[in-house]
Amino acid sequence: MEFDTKLIHGGISEDKTTGAVSVPIYMASTFHQQKIGENKYEYSRSGNPTREAVEKLIAELEGGTAGFAFASGSAAIDTVFSMFSAGDHFVIGNDVYGGTFRLIDAVLKRFGMTFTVVDTRDLAAVQAAITPETKAIYLETPTNPLLRVTDIAAVAKIAKAHHILSIIDNTFSSPYVQRPLEQGVDIVLHSASKYLGGHSDVIAGLVVTKDEALGEKIGYLQNAIGGILAPQESWLLQRGIKTLSLRMRAHLANAEAVFDYLANQPLVSKIYYPGDPDNPDYEVAKKQMHGFGAMISFELQDGLDPKQFVEQLHVITLAESLGALESLIEIPALMTHGSIPRDIRLKNGIKDELIRLSVGVEDQKDLLADLARGFNQLKGSQKNVSDSKIHSKA
């Protein structure tokens, strides 16, 4: 089946008992066993029909052999790292979600794991960071929040040459935009609360593996740790996935229009968007992505207050998260990446003036008018930007 058809009919798409075209929500905690050891389901932490449906669906969409659903993206990441032991070393991207940084810095390091942070676009730096103790390369692409794009196939090739794992957080793209397993990656993760769920009504995480033995390890840890996705949320997630292609086409079109608008806005000093032809990552993005995603980050001119901008918007919602039907905007330094110390944020390019925008599916005219409202507010209150600088892009 083609991808759009898989969204509807992939995995377990109907109830085999009744023929229901929507897999039921099986709220049972335990299951009647006619004979010991012969039931497919025994206890819902170990396996649940509703959760299994969404797990098989994401595995098929990503081109993997096994999928696993968790209570959140963070629970998914933590479970993957639970495969490893004290003394193991990891190469990690320098521009990752603040919650991932918090997990590594405040939790995993206490367990004796070590990490070397690099710009994963620099393949020589990735190579140089690998030691005999290195077990995996972990990265996001595009990254959060600076939308940096790493050559997935090249990193996967490096990992295989060193007999280590490659792990990619694919949240910003979804399998509609890119499928890292098809480019040689070992493990793909998602915060499924974002584009896969798509409706701001579910918290979920997903993991997909290519290798069956690796899938068995993740499955064992999922059951042992127990951070599983509940039946209600599993049903909501599968329902959301069915419309992924329809939503993504609208997301991508709106993002292009927003980028064009921001590129001609004099109060914007820099834009981070993989679809920008002037972006140094543009050619890599064009090679490995189906479209450029719908996340855009941009910096205001020095001296302008990002809070003053985001708090004036009416259509675009000031909120954390991304990938929803509604456009969402936030200030990484104060919100999603606030757990990262300021000196580290600045070193990695996350300035105080940075704004991250998740472009939704509203009418383009309303989105652009709302952005204009925010910029007009800044023009009326800006004090530290000279007139010549304001009009330098006009």
Phi first, then psi: give them for residue 393, nearest 5 degrees. -100, -5
**Encoding tokens for residue 130?**
């690998």
State yes or no: cis peptide before 142, omega within 30 of 0: yes
- Cα–Cα nearest to 135, from 94, 186, 97, 183: 186
Please count the CA atoms within 13 angstroms of the CA of 90 that sit on its side-chain side.
Answer: 27
Query: Choosing from 45, 157, 239, 351, which is the catalytic residue?
Result: 45
Q: Is position 194 annotated as part of the catalytic site?
A: yes
In the chain, alpha helices (H): 3-9, 49-62, 73-81, 98-102, 123-129, 152-161, 174-177, 212-225, 231-241, 244-263, 282-288, 306-310, 342-347, 364-381, 387-390
Count CB-CB contacts under 10 A for residue 37: 6
Sign of the Cα torsion 114, 116, 121, 122 reads negative
Tokens of 206: 């997903």
Of 88, 151, 169, 305, the active-site residue reads: 169
The string over 8-24, giving b where at least 16 C-beta atoms fall within 10 Å of a residue's C-beta and e elsewhere, is eebbbbebeeeeeeebe
φ, ψ dihedrals at 119, nearest 5°: -80, 105
Is the peptide bond between 145 and the residue preceding it cis, with omega within 30 degrees of 0?
Answer: yes
Asked if 45 is an active-site residue, the reply is yes
CA dist 297 and 19 (Å) reads 45
* Identified catalytic residue from 6, 51, 179, 194: 194
Exposure b/e, 120-150, CB count within 10 A at least 16 = b? bbebeebeebbeeebbbbbbbbbbbbbbbbb
Report helix, strand or coil for 212: helix
Number of H helices, E strands in the chain: 15, 12
Sorted by sequence, the CB contacts under 8 Å of residue 140 that are 6+ apart come out as: 93, 95, 96, 97, 100, 168, 169, 171, 172
Q: What are phi and psi of 89, to 5 degrees?
A: -115, 150
Pairing of strands 205-209, 187-191: antiparallel
**Is residue 287 flagged as an active site residue?**
no
Q: Which of 6, 26, 88, 97 is catalytic?
A: 97
Residues that are catalytic? 45, 97, 169, 194
